[in-house]
Amino acid sequence: MRRLQTDIEGICRLGLDSQTLRSQVMARLRQDVRYDAFCFGTIDPWTLLVTDDISAGIPPGNAALASYNEYLEADVDKFADLARTGRTVGILSHSAGGDPRRSLRFHTVLPVINAEHELRAVFLADGECWGAVSLFRRGEQTDFTPQEAALVRALSRPVAVALRRACVNTSPTAAQGVPGPGVLVLDKVGRTVVANETARYWLHELGTLPLHEVAAAARAGRGEEAYLRVRARTGRWLSLWGSTLNGEPDSGASVVIQPTPVSDVTRTLARAHELTAREQEILEQVISGRPSMGIASVLTMSQYTVQDHLKSIFAKFGVRSRGQLVARALGIPSADGTA
């Protein structure tokens, strides 16, 4: 166990982007915990919805099916349950009382990949969930063991910390103007019925997984939790809100996509860069364009104190100016061309 944990912790210290980090973690994990397929997603720690995933051995086009089971069917080892209880790891057969056929997921999701065994885990740091993984084995393989579950459980915090850091490490691409809100309507099986041009633009940056997550969460009656903050492929922060049509879960869902409010961006950045509460307040003020004198007035402190906090924030973000700080925070190129 110690060798695996040491190797994974080394990978987590490399400062990799999220997808590369997850790929390398899975490659190393497979040496000790064998699997035939996997799906490794990042998680919004406030709503516990999946924001992005990488996978292997799983046919494409099944995001709606997985989201439906996760939010609309009663089942064992839901990611949110593993996170909220702090249990972190679950083996399907064990959680289903020794018979995995008691799980709906065994009959709906696992057949897609010809699997009969599943191990699920979430990655927690400071009480917040930043990622989740499902490992699968086909029927001819042996089931996952408690010893293998213990190996994965030991990785929870270092992987979570690395995912938290990686969520803000996407390099921004050139801005091309920011369109308005995108609106989509999905039917009850997750097919897009209507989408405006802006929605299609945003989906090109996001992919479809976040769309199915918020739609399923809305249909499950999760209300304000049918919401995601996602860093798109371009580095831009986007938010998705899901709601049911006419308040009827069986009638489908609508999803609105638009740039994330600054307050939500800074909340995520504060965790990723380990800002203090006061530094988070100052970052919000800087992003809003307020000068140091104005920040000092609003937050009732001296300009010298503001400057001291700014120096600390610059160091944590690895930038040298307000322009670079705002660009790094919002996922846009800075005026001097740096990321």
Question: 56's torsion region: left (phi>0), alpha (psi -120 to 50) or beta?
Answer: beta
Residue span of the structural domain in which 247 resides: 182-259
pLDDT at 268: 84
CATH number, domain at 248?
3.30.450
| Inter-CA distances, 227 with 27, 50, 116, 215, 301, Å | 31, 10, 32, 9, 35
CATH number, domain at 136?
3.30.450.40
Answer yes or no: do 101 and 117 share one domain. yes
pLDDT at 174: 45
Residue 62 lies in a domain: yes
Query: Where does a domain end: 135, 166, 197?
Result: 166
Answer yes or no: do 143 and 234 share one domain. no
Number of domains composing the chain: 3
Answer yes or no: do 15 and 151 share one domain. yes
pLDDT at 88: 97
234-288 tens-digit pLDDT: 778 899 999 998 777 677 899 999 988 877 888 888 888 889 999 999 998 888 7
Cα–Cα distance for residue pair 227/218, rounded to 1 Å: 9
Encoding tokens for residue 177?
């103007």
Cα–Cα distance for residue pair 273/155, rounded to 1 Å: 21
Ranges 62-66, 136-140, 332-336: which has the least confidence: 332-336
Of the candidates 218, 158, 156, the residue with the CA atom closest to the CA atom of residue 228: 218
Residue 174 lies in a domain: no
Query: Where does a domain end: 205, 231, 259?
Result: 259
Encoding tokens for residue 176?
């091309």
pLDDT at 42: 95
Q: What pTM was estimated for this model as a whole?
A: 0.81
Cα–Cα distance for residue pair 54/93, rounded to 1 Å: 24
Of the candidates 146, 68, 142, the residue with the CA atom closest to the CA atom of residue 107: 68
114-161 tens-digit pLDDT: 999 999 999 999 999 999 999 999 989 999 999 999 999 999 999 999
Answer yes or no: do 145 and 186 share one domain. no
Answer yes or no: do 216 and 243 share one domain. yes
Cα–Cα distance for residue pair 52/169, rounded to 1 Å: 15
Cα–Cα distance for residue pair 105/143, rounded to 1 Å: 16
Q: Which carries the bigger pLDDT value, residue 332 or residue 48? A: 48
Helix (H) or strand (E) holding 124: strand 115-125
Answer yes or no: do 136 and 72 share one domain. yes
91-110 tens-digit pLDDT: 999 999 999 999 999 999 99
| Inter-CA distances, 326 with 90, 262, 318, 323, Å | 41, 11, 12, 5
Cα–Cα distance for residue pair 119/253, rounded to 1 Å: 30
